[in-house]
Amino acid sequence: MKRTLAIGLLIFVLLPAIAFATIPTKPSQLIFVNDFANVLSTSQERELTQVLAAIEQVTGAEVVIVTVSSLGNDEAFNFAQSLYTTWGIGKAGKNNGLLIFAAIDDREFRFHTGYGLEGALPDSYLGSLYREYIIPAFGQERYYDGLMRVLISDNGLLPALEKEYNVKINTNSTLPSRSAEEWTQDNLSKIITIIVILMLFTRGGRGLFWFLLGTSMGRGGSNRGGGFGGSLGGGFGGGRSGGGGAGGRW
């Protein structure tokens, strides 16, 4: 009886932990883009890595992207804090790391800052980036678009870090162009409204409607994959975080 009770108690204690997602193993090298959810193509990972590597080389700050499929029963804040601590993002003593984290299936996003970047990247600023770029892009599964805009837009992380460190970070990266698919999603309802008005006032509106609708729907396409992370020798530096940052659901 006592043995059965002990086993039952052990299962009760361990069950919540079993349901939580496992923190990914710390890479042996400093890998800037860790796409465990496989939502970025190889070329997209390469473009993001180029920007993040340039930031690290000029400022020393380690900005790292991590995607996972699910949090299990964990919370985004707890998972991000555990991941940050386990990996030691940022340089020891400087604590100049930033984790950009997304749990794709749970639609959870989190910026998680090291102690040393809390002044340069305050929570309110990171929250504005999340609302302006992450929510609209991730809501349409345009993960690369949202991440790149967070990095290199005029109010993005790269300009903010240039200002903090009083440096110029040169990259060849450009903002993603608006794809035909994105253009269609954003503007199709407007097109339909205009065409309906034309149909009400012109005889040829019906033919025009089907022509334009077919043209717009015939565009688009996506490329998804993964596998290229890009790394810098030496591994993560051993930075710490106090839990600063911002995020939420998209």
pLDDT tens digits for range 71-90: 999 999 999 999 999 999 99
Phi, psi at 204, each rounded to 5° = -90, 10
State the pTM of this model: 0.73
Strand order in the sheet with 244-249: 33-35, 62-68, 97-103, 108-113, 244-249
pLDDT score of 89: 97
Selected from 3.40.50.300, 3.40.190.10, 3.10.310.50, 3.60.20.10, the CATH number assigned to the domain covering 17-176+224-249 reads 3.10.310.50
Domain regions of the chain by residue span:
17-176+224-249, 180-217
Amino acid 177: pLDDT: 66
- Residue 91 CA to residue 119 CA, distance in Å, equals 16
Stretches where the chain sits below pLDDT 50 are: 8, 11-18, 180-185, 188, 190, 196, 208-228
Structure tokens at 117: 């970047």
Backbone φ, ψ for residue 72 (5° rounding): 65, -130
Give residue-wise pLDDT tens across range 17-52.
Answer: 445 579 999 999 999 999 999 999 999 999 999 999
Residue 138 corresponds to which amino acid? F
